[in-house]
Chain A
Amino acid sequence: MILETLANVLAKNALITAFAFVGILVWVSYYLSDKLTRGHVHGSAIAIAIGLVLAYVGGKYTGGSKGLADVAMLSGVGVMGGAMFRDFAIIATAFGAHIDELKKAGAVGAASIVIGVVLSFTVGAIVAVAFGYTDAVSISTIGAGAATYIVGPVTGTALGASSEVIALSVAAGLTKSVLVMVGTPLVAKRIGLDNPYSAMIYGGLMGTTSGVAAGLAATDPKLVPYGAMTATFYTGVGCLLAPSLLFLIVRMVS
């Protein structure tokens, strides 16, 4: 009776349960960061990594597509980690960002968005060709998926790609965002990601808002507004270029 009531309370107050749950998860992560790595690995990097592992476990256990949020008691995690709260918090980080830093990287930051879309698209398209795809529509859709998991299906739908190819493009984009989350703190030093200027270029090149958001949080939270600023333009630019100009180029070449 007690367990049943408890489960009921947790499920009924889903968002509040999520706050408590994430709070415990973050506490454990910072404890591990301190004790096991003596602070070398950032606590938030550990928290994000544990989050991804739990998402895997949740997905395996429920067979759903929303990771841990498909577990009834933890459905609030989906609300808390959804696009609405994520964007709200990202915007809040801009409070206190320096206008001068933004101006300094303005043109290069904007250019990095276009370069980032074209680069990821090209790499994705080459991989598609290497795996035996020959039609321009499939190649472009998979290339677009390598940009972000939103650009992929938008492009695929616009070009009339098969649902199988669209699913692959989403998977490519998901892989990218997960890898950016995990990989950023590991390579940050080597690629010079330690100032607002390179953070804006990083956001523009990577483009996956969730990947960039988590990657910078785990590297240096002070850089979040700069990376997020350029990253949020990436999907729009991708949806603009992939089904039009980039597709036409692929069709000409193939």
Chain B
Amino acid sequence: MVIYGVALLSFCMLVGVFVGDILGKLIGVQANVGGVGIAMLLLIFLSNLNDHRLHLGNPTQSGIHFWSAMYIPIVVAMAAKQNVIAALSSGWMAIFAGVAAVIASFLLIPVIARFGPGDQRDT
């Protein structure tokens, strides 16, 4: 049943966000610490139990695949609700700080990617 997949996804999200909130409280910050990441790990873990205890049939999987496929449209809607005006009209300092942070971070990606056992392409 499709709803099994959707419910499994919901379960993962609720557990993840709950654990993330608890983590945030434990270390004393007013934010959710990695809730979505924890939910993703939980979903990966549960879906890999597959053949033994938890078998996900095709309809169940399609309940998850649907939301995965809705990802881009949801991101488009997210873009359309951003406060672009505030970002552009708050003066040069804020824009400058944001732009500089992005450029610095972009530049560091290939540097860090060289460490560790990652992709072996020659560049």
Contact = CB atoms under 8 A, between A and B. Distances in A.
Interface of A: 18-19, 22-23, 25-26, 29, 44, 47-49, 51-52, 54-56, 58-60, 65-69, 77-78, 80-82, 85-97, 99, 102, 104-105, 107-108, 111-112, 115-116, 119-120, 123-124, 126-128, 131, 142-143, 145-147, 150-151, 154, 157-158, 167-181, 183, 187, 191-193, 195, 197-198, 201-202, 205-206, 209-210, 213-214, 217, 221, 224-225, 228-230, 232-233, 235-237, 239-240
B109 to A, nearest CB: 5
Given A52-B80, A171-B90, A176 B71 contact: no
A91 B44 CA distance: 9
Given A206-B102, A239-B29, 19 more contacts: A47-B79, A58-B80, A69-B80, A81-B76, A81-B78, A89-B75, A90-B71, A94-B40, A105-B116, A142-B97, A143-B97, A174-B82, A174-B87, A175-B98, A197-B119, A202-B109, A217-B71, A232-B40, A236-B23
Contacts of B121: 192
Interface of B: 9-10, 12-13, 16-17, 20, 23-24, 27, 29-37, 39-41, 43-44, 47-48, 61, 64-68, 70-88, 90-102, 104-110, 112-113, 115-119, 121, 123
